Amino acid sequence: MIRNNRHKYWVSAMCDVLQIARSTYYYEAKVRDDQDGELTDLILDIFKKSRNNYGQRKIKVELKKKGWIVSRRRIGRIMKEQGLVSKYTVAQFKPSKSSCNESEVGNELNREFDQDQELKVIVSDLTYVRVGLKWHYICVLIDLYNREIIGHSAGPHKNAALVQRAFASVPYNLHHLELFHTDRGSEFKNQLIDQALETFGIERSLSEKGTPYDNAVAEATFKTIKTEFVKGTFLLTNTNLTLNFLIMFIGSTTYEFMNP
């Protein structure tokens, strides 16, 4: 109470009212300041090791592992003092999306994101990344069985050819795939992709119009990719983008955070 109101009243006056010796207050204040210093160092270390991703909630969990029980309010105060802002709190610009198609293909997946068979159901999506002074795009193919990224491509154009190259990068027999689910972007539902799917006997599934949760795994994957790995990285060419993607993602196969 004294600490929080010392900008309004004399410390000596508050000590008299509360019947607390001034020496007791100053001793406890010194201990608190020492703790704040140590706590600040811990929070800075945790934040940096998370690559500027962790906010108050996750930092609180990490502090608890180290034996510190700290309120989110106190963590927030220290983060504000140190100028620490999680990447997840920063708004991101989104370019205009292409119009969706009106195909009669339905949502065969029906949000059944937990699959018990490898390479049975694949989901996909595209996202944008700044390369030099232009927008480039990434396409990934994700196996719902274990959230493995089994195919990927990157390029300056958001079109069916980008999706086709992602399929070409898959190291498995495409005849094993049974269902391919995406949103209703024209990049996914067109003659080129339809012919490829028909060749390998792969059925189609499309999200309902204006319902991103129907493709939640792919959406969550790209949120993590852009927030934790792409943000703050300067990419000069599409080659840089492709190499960055290979180095940072293809080395790992499963991502627990992608479960919606």
Q: Kindly report the CATH number assigned to the domain that includes residue 151.
A: 3.30.420.10
In a domain, 248, yes or no: yes
Whether the per-residue pLDDT at 6 is higher than 60: the answer is no
Do β-strands 121-131 and 179-182 pair in parallel, antiparallel, or remain unpaired? Answer: parallel
In a domain, 238, yes or no: yes
Domain that holds residue 56: 2-89
User: Do residue 238 and residue 132 come from a single domain?
Assistant: yes
User: Do residue 127 and residue 205 come from a single domain?
Assistant: yes
How far is residue 8's CA from residue 125's CA, in Å, rounded to a whole number? Answer: 56
In a domain, 99, yes or no: no
In a domain, 111, yes or no: no
User: Do residue 83 and residue 131 come from a single domain?
Assistant: no
How far is residue 48's CA from residue 84's CA, in Å, rounded to a whole number? Answer: 9
pLDDT tens per residue, range 212-226: 899 999 988 888 777
How far is residue 85's CA from residue 69's CA, in Å, rounded to a whole number? Answer: 21
pLDDT tens per residue, range 127-174: 888 777 678 888 999 999 999 889 888 888 889 999 999 999 999 999
Kindly report the pTM of this predicted structure. Answer: 0.57
The phi and psi torsions of 204 (rounded to 5 degrees) equal -105, 150
Collect all residues with Cβ–Cβ distance below 8 Å to 178 and sequence separation of at least 6: 120, 121, 202, 203
User: Do residue 134 and residue 214 come from a single domain?
Assistant: yes
Which of left, alpha, beta for 244 (phi over 0: left; psi -120 to 50: alpha)? alpha
CA atoms 188, 153, 53, 82: torsion sign: negative
User: Do residue 130 and residue 193 come from a single domain?
Assistant: yes
Q: Give the total number of structural domains in the chain.
A: 2
In a domain, 146, yes or no: yes
Q: Is residue 43 a contact partner of residue 75, using CB atoms and an 8 Å limit?
A: yes
